[in-house]
Amino acid sequence: MKRTLLAGLLLTLLPWLAQAADVGLWIVEPAPSGNLAACSGLAARAVSSPSRFAHRLQAEATIRWAGGQFHLTGATVGDVADDALTDRCFALTIDDRVVASGAVLVPYSARLLRIPVIQVTRRRPLDLVLTSHFPASLAEPVPADWREMLSSLR
């Protein structure tokens, strides 16, 4: 009787326990001056409180980093317009907590940034590379706090 009750309780709670983390990639308008070096703080603040300058990416995408990758599911599959993604700020959130925030660039950008960067390496399907600065490659390790939070998403 107790085993049956325990099994029933586990079956009831299993979907709740197995819920996947809510991962969001937010695209944020940069400062009016276009200064992407200010993106880290700007994007984190924009998603922490409602802002008309921040919108959640609604396209399917793969985000890779040194040590792993995960797939974002979205409402749309296909191309994302250049002007809607690059030379913007981003905030990557897990369960509404900002994990990383910085700038979105193309891999051949001439910018030098010492903040986190998402590089748009392919548009269809959307493939993004998260690095701790720019220029950087997937061979360079990510900060330990990112690694801990992102490793659960694989």
pLDDT tens-digit map of 101-116: 999 999 999 899 999 9
Q: In terms of pLDDT, which residue wins out, 11 or 33?
A: 33
Q: Average pLDDT of 39-51?
A: 87
pTM reported for the whole predicted model? 0.80
Query: Given the structure tokens 């793969």, which residue do they identify?
Result: 62
The count of other CB atoms within 10 Å of the CB of residue 108 is 7
Q: Average pLDDT of 30-56?
A: 88
Rounded-to-integer distance, Cα 127 and Cα 24, Å:
15
As given in the structure block, the two tokens for residue 96 are 């509404």
Nearest to 27, CA basis, from 60, 54, 66:
54
